Amino acid sequence: MDLYCVMGNPVTHSKSPWIHARFAELTGQTLHYGKRHIELDGFAPAIQAFVAEGGLGCNITLPFKFQAAALATDISDRARLAQASNMLTFKDGAILADNTDGVGLVNDIGRGAGIDLSGRRLLLIGAGGASAGVLGPLIRAQPASITVANRSIDKASALVERHAALALLHKTELLAHGLQGLDGTFDVVINATSSSLNGAGVPVSGSTLKAGALAYDMMYGPAAQGFINWAREHSAVARDGLGMLVEQAAEAFLIWRGVRPPAQQVLAELRALMSCQA
């Protein structure tokens, strides 16, 4: 049996095994996808053990995405730019690191929310690992501009600087900003901060939302609820990150198995399942 898994800490509530099992079922693939809780100082040995068992690939979740990129023998351009990896592929003794988080986000905005990002004004809130994972693919979608707004502006500036050449190539204006005093309104506002996990509110003003804007939180479930409520209060179209989770998994599945699974169908099924469980 072809073996895959997700590794993280915590990993108990990961939806990835269910998503990949459903992809396999719908595309007629035979594989086993499990989940492994990894001790914080045990990532490298866990990878070695999985490879020794014949594992072909794994998804990596928090807090190991940076270690995964550093451990790899080969790294994709997008994972290098993100300095983080959410998927490893094991082949002929090599460890290939890639990152499908950003393309997952872009695909969910396109296919799920029905929005073409080209020519739009984007606001990306946050400049930590979550933002770094998606900024490159957002630029490749060729919006008119992306403003990266962060509490500590030096982190936003560093992220913008690292992506400046890519932005120039795609004719996207890329700006770093603080959380206050943002100019004008935005077509799409993406929350990539962990502020809700700390019990804090949405860290930017509702006046950043253009009428009918898409307000997207990269988290899902209770962690996204505050942002979703805020978006609705300001008449924006609210969307959580469950679709991003399914779309990043679909990209990984495509890379591993050579078949694109029906991600938005699986997303609808997962939402129905989660609302039954709630």
Give 102 or 261: the residue with its C-beta nearer to ligand ATR.
102
Q: Does 203 bind ligand ATR (CB under 6 A)?
A: yes
Backbone angles phi, psi at 234, to 5 degrees: -105, 20
Query: In which element (H, E) is residue 59 found?
Result: strand 55-60
Q: Which of residues 160-199 bind ligand ATR (CB under 6 A)?
A: 193-195, 198
| Count of residues touching ligand ATR (by CB under 6 A) | 15
Of 65, 155, 171, 210, which residue is the catalytic one? 65
Q: 209: which strand partners? A: 186
C-alpha to C-alpha distance for 116 and 113, rounded to whole angstroms:
9
The minimum distance between CB 203 and ligand ATR, in angstroms, equals: 4
Among 20-28, 41-49, 149-157, 260-268, which window interacts with ligand ATR (CB under 6 A)? 149-157
* Entry field: residues in the chain: 278
Whether the ω angle into residue 63 lies within 30 degrees of 0, i.e. cis, is: yes
Per the listing, tokens 């942002």 go with 227
Q: Which of 76, 85, 150, 248 binds ligand ATR (CB under 6 A)?
A: 150
We find the least distance from the C-beta atom of residue 232 to ligand ATR, in angstroms, to be 20
Q: Point out which span in 6-14, 147-155, 180-188, 235-243 binds ligand ATR (CB under 6 A).
A: 147-155
Which of 165/200 has CB closer to ligand ATR?
Answer: 200
Q: Which of 32, 36, 151, 170 binds ligand ATR (CB under 6 A)?
A: 151
Q: Edge to edge, what strands does the sheet with 237-239 contain?
A: 173-177, 145-149, 121-125, 186-191, 209-217, 237-239
What are φ and ψ of residue 187, in 5° steps? -75, -35
Q: Name which of 76 and 193 has its Cβ closer to ligand ATR.
A: 193
Site for ligand ATR in 81-140 (CB under 6 A): 126-130
Active site residue 91: no
Q: Which position's Cβ is nearest ligand ATR? A: 128
Query: Least Å distance between CB 218 and ligand ATR?
Result: 8
Cβ-Cβ contacts under 8 Å for 265 (sequence gap 6 or more): 26
Residue 230, judged by CB atoms within 10 A of its CB (0-12, 13-18, 19+), counts as: buried
Phi, psi of 266 (to 5 degrees): -65, -35
Catalytic positions, written as ranges:
65
Sites of contact with ligand ATR (CB under 6 A): 126-130, 150-152, 155, 193-195, 198, 200, 203
